[in-house]
Amino acid sequence: MSHPSRAGRLTLALAACGAVLGHVAIASGSRLGLLVHPSEIGAVLVGVQALAGGVFGAVVVPLIAWTLLRHVPLGAVLLALPLGAAVGTAVEWSVLHQSTFGGAAVGTLGAAAVVARWPWRRGAMPAIVGAPESPLKALGGARGGTDVAGRRVAASRAHRAP
């Protein structure tokens, strides 16, 4: 990011996205925990926890996203953190019959650690047997490809139909 206002706008967008994702993650995790151990007051607490989860997400998502952004795709961060928060909240609610955001924090940090250690580099993931390495290689490389009939064509004509 070359301009500070772009970084600020991205941080605000991450905070807004984190607020929505935190709200949904904590609410769904609390609901899952309530399925295991129903409680009369638990239904009221889900709403309060969901609002607090929005604040939690608005603070935590930009912090962790900026920390991991050089090494991890943003989509992976925005997918893993709410899943970790929801699982942590559900486990905490199931075990302790209450939620103090400890489970959400542990789940979020655990998800961040898993995402940070995942091999995101090209070629580091195990290849699917029989799958081409890249779309260009499937077409015969960057210098050309094949047409519908299977004939070799130059790179300038590789994308056109015969």
The string of pLDDT tens digits covering residues 51-98 is: 888 999 999 999 998 888 778 888 888 899 999 999 998 888 888 877
Cβ neighbours around 67 below 10 Å, total: 13
Buried-state track 128-151, b at ≥16 Cβ within 10 A, e below 16: eeeeeeeeeeebeeeeebeeeeee
pLDDT of residue 34: 82
For residues 11 and 121, which has the higher predicted lDDT (pLDDT)?
A: 11
This prediction's pTM: 0.67
Q: Mean pLDDT lowest for which of 7-11, 40-44, 110-114?
A: 40-44
